[in-house]
């Protein structure tokens, strides 16, 4: 049996310090040290706070991960680290750590793409991709529709303004919900009626198909939600929070699934992977399962624990790069806050 590489994955793109070890596409250990609570009182991510949290957490998290598996750092065959996109200061902490390990141990370094990693992590759960897949990545900062075909990544569409998760956090603040707002809106939506409020679906009209068939826009939806709340307050009406949350969440899920199905049909792709923090959303998962199944599409969604940022997704990206023969990164690799998803290894 051929040797499966032991890969160390390090993720520090935002507010999670993630470290994982995989043997090929078998996950051995995954640990996350989160600084979300430190940002909550500010109502959003503070870059300097995030960077300092990574500095404090990364060494102990790496050591705890190695100890849990019972291996030494020298036993690792390759090191994968997030090169971008993300916060520059946060990325720099992970990159500096990974470079030091790679240089000291003479191991290959793979600076991988965070966004694509959200899809590639599914291979640790449901096995390696069998041919090209359509990937819908939805998170706090990204909404992207990609085709992953071995080592090649093609971007079909992306968000033109607010990402799905970003819109949820902003509407959560309007409702007075704790940061991050997404999980709280999701919980409220479970008791509401998604048809109660007719929120808009942007870029879904026939005239948009020529130029933005697979792009997303949630800024207008966010504004519509804010105006609806303002009108209700001005009129002295009680806000039906459950119905409001369900209608808002349902509008986002409707657009995401409709555009993904349209892309799968046009390209003749039968397998769809959904990843990213917003893929934990209940309405998106339920609607995707219903609609994709009705259209004969194979749906792959990782468990919720792999939706938010984690080291497993970066280790999986490193394994994917090794399997498909991509060259390692140079040791002078720099952080790229806007690394395009078409670049799997920087």
Kindly provide the b/e burial profile for residues 27-52, where b requires at least 16 CB atoms within 10 angstroms of the residue's own CB: bbbbbbbebeeebeeeeebbeebbbb
Tell me: the pLDDT tens digits for 84-121? 999 999 999 999 999 999 999 999 999 999 999 999 99
* CA separation, residue 320 to residues 39, 122, 225, 234 (Å): 33, 11, 40, 54
Distance, CA of 212 to CA of 209 (rounded, Å):
5
Return the pLDDT at 45.
75
Distance, CA of 222 to CA of 282 (rounded, Å):
19
User: Is the pLDDT score of 327 beyond 90?
Assistant: yes
113 shares its domain with 135: no
Distance, CA of 339 to CA of 346 (rounded, Å):
8
Residue 252 lies in a domain: yes
183 shares its domain with 76: no
Distance, CA of 340 to CA of 346 (rounded, Å):
10
Tell me: the pLDDT tens digits for 186-238? 999 999 999 999 999 999 998 988 899 999 999 999 999 999 999 999 999 99
Question: What is the total count of domains within the chain?
Answer: 2
Return the pLDDT at 44.
73
Residue 341 lies in a domain: no
Distance of CA 332 to the CA centre of its chain: 26
Return the pLDDT at 1.
32
146 shares its domain with 96: no
210 shares its domain with 146: yes
- Percent pLDDT > 90 in the chain is 87
Residue 227 lies in a domain: yes
Tell me: the pLDDT tens digits for 126-158? 999 999 999 999 987 889 999 999 999 999 999
Residue 340 lies in a domain: no
Please indicate, yes or no, whether the overall pTM of this predicted structure exceeds 0.85: yes
13 shares its domain with 45: yes
Q: 246 is in which domain, residue-wise? A: 129-302
3-state secondary structure of 81: strand
Higher-confidence position of 46 and 80: 80
Residue 76 lies in a domain: yes
Distance, CA of 246 to CA of 189 (rounded, Å):
4
Average pLDDT along the chain:
94
137 shares its domain with 242: yes
Residue 159 lies in a domain: yes
Residue 329 lies in a domain: no
Residue 332 lies in a domain: no
Q: What is the mean pLDDT of residues 15-29?
A: 96
Q: CATH number of the domain that 82 lies in?
A: 3.30.420.40
Q: Which of 29-38, 165-174, 208-217, 291-300 has the lowest mean pLDDT?
A: 29-38
Cβ atoms within 10 Å, residue 170: 18
């Amino acid at each position: 049996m051929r040797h499966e590489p032991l890969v160390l994955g390090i993720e520090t793109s935002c507010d999670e310090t993630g470290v994982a070890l995989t043997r090929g596409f078998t996950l051995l250990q995954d640990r996350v040290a989160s600084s979300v609570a430190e940002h909550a009182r500010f109502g959003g991510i503070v870059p300097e706070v995030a960077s300092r949290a990574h500095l404090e957490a990364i060494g102990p998290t790496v050591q705890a991960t190695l100890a849990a598996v019972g291996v030494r750092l020298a036993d690792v065959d390759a090191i994968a680290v997030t090169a971008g996109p993300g916060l520059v200061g946060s990325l720099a902490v992970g990159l500096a750590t990974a470079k030091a390990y790679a240089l000291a141990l003479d191991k290959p370094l793979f600076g991988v793409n965070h966004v694509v990693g959200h899809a590639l992590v599914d291979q640790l759960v449901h096995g390696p991709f069998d041919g090209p897949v359509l990937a819908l990545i939805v998170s706090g900062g990204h909404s992207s529709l990609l085709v992953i075909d071995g080592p090649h990544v093609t971007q079909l569409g992306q968000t033109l303004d607010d990402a799905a998760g970003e819109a949820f956090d902003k509407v959560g603040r309007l409702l007075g919900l704790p940061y991050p707002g997404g999980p709280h809106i999701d919980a409220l939506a479970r008791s509401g009626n998604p048809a109660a409020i007719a929120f808009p679906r942007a870029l879904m009209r026939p005239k948009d198909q020529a130029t933005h068939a697979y792009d997303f826009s949630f800024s207008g939806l966010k504004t519509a939600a804010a105006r609806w709340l303002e009108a209700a307050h001005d009129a002295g009406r009680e806000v039906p929070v459950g119905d409001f949350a369900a209608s808002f969440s349902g509008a986002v899920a409707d657009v995401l699934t409709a555009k993904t199905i349209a892309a799968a049909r046009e390209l003749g792709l039968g397998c769809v992977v959904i990843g990213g923090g917003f893929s934990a959303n209940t309405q998106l998962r339920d609607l995707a399962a219903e609609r994709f199944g009705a259209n004969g599409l194979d749906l792959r969604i990782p468990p919720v624990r792999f939706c938010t940022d984690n080291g497993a997704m970066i280790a999986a990206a490193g394994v994917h790069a090794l399997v498909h023969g991509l060259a390692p990164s140079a040791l002078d690799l720099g952080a790229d806050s806007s690394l395009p998803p078409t670049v799997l290894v920087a």
